[in-house]
């Protein structure tokens, strides 16, 4: 397994280089890193703001930038954003939402940049999903989901797998929300 701290540009670039060295090519890049630090904008620590930007935005940009030269024509880039790019329902989530909105915008532009090579670039925007990051606020969020439950990681993975497949070759620059109707 090749790991990298997405807030560390050298580590991200190193992980891309190790991947290409090990496999000789890069067909699919899935960027699934993010942190959530909650707090009201008037008291939000600048250090926490910088940390979320470094992980949630700069890390995604660096991964795409480092990978693009190695991606095969017709390759895939899939970022994992959040439905909070569309709807911020709770106080204290504005900075996190901003970082995920930035990813949705970045994906649209990168899709245009890489389209001549047939590389598709898409963003998956999960809503409330049963993960370590959401464990502390399940009971607060679950009643807001029309389907009445949290999403499962394998459901998000299924959408990612579809976007990585040949069947999704005409989808690019899109943000696809998978959230049980939360933002409907």
Which tens digits make up the pLDDT trace of 6-35?
A: 999 999 999 999 999 999 999 999 999 899
Question: What is the chain's length?
Answer: 184
Q: Where are the alpha helices (DSSP H) in 54-176?
A: 59-67, 94-114, 138-141, 153-164
Structure tokens at 99: 């970082």
Rounded alpha-carbon distances, angstroms, from residue 183 to 52, 87, 131, 153: 23, 6, 19, 18
Helices 59-67 and 94-114 cross at an angle (nearest 10°) of 20
- For 143, which DSSP code? G
Q: Which residues are catalytic?
A: 96
pTM of the model: 0.94
Question: What domains are defined for the chain?
Answer: 10-178 (3.40.50.720)
Given the structure tokens 């890069």, which residue do they identify?
Answer: 26
What are the pLDDT tens digits along the chain (184 aa)? 788 999 999 999 999 999 999 999 999 999 998 999 999 999 999 999 999 999 999 999 999 999 999 999 999 999 999 999 998 878 899 999 999 999 999 999 999 999 999 999 999 999 999 887 776 777 788 888 999 999 999 999 999 999 999 999 999 999 999 999 999 8
Chain centre to alpha carbon of residue 176 = 11
Give the pLDDT score at 38.
93
pLDDT value at residue 138: 74
**If we measure between CA atoms, which residue out of 122, 112, 114, 102 comes closest to residue 55?**
102
Choose among 176, 167, 184, 179: nearest CA to 76. Answer: 167
């Amino acid at each position: 397994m090749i790991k990298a701290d997405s807030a560390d540009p050298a580590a991200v670039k190193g992980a891309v280089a190790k991947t290409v060295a090990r496999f000789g090519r890069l067909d699919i890049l899935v960027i699934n890193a993010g942190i959530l630090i909650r707090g009201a904008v008037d008291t939000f620590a600048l250090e926490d703001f910088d940390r979320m930007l470094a992980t949630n935005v700069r890390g995604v940009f660096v991964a795409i930038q480092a990978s693009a030269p190695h991606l095969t024509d017709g390759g895939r880039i899939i970022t994992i954003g959040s439905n909070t790019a569309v709807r911020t329902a709770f106080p204290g989530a504005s900075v996190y939402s901003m970082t995920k909105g930035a990813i949705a915008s970045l994906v649209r532009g990168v899709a245009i940049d890489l389209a001549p090579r047939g590389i598709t670039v898409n963003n998956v925007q999960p809503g409330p999903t049963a993960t370590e990051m959401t464990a502390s606020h399940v009971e607060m969020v679950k009643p807001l989901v029309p389907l009445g439950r949290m999403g499962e990681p394998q459901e998000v993975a299924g959408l990612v797998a579809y976007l990585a497949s040949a069947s999704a070759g005409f989808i690019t620059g899109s943000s696809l929300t998978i959230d049980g109707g939360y933002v409907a």
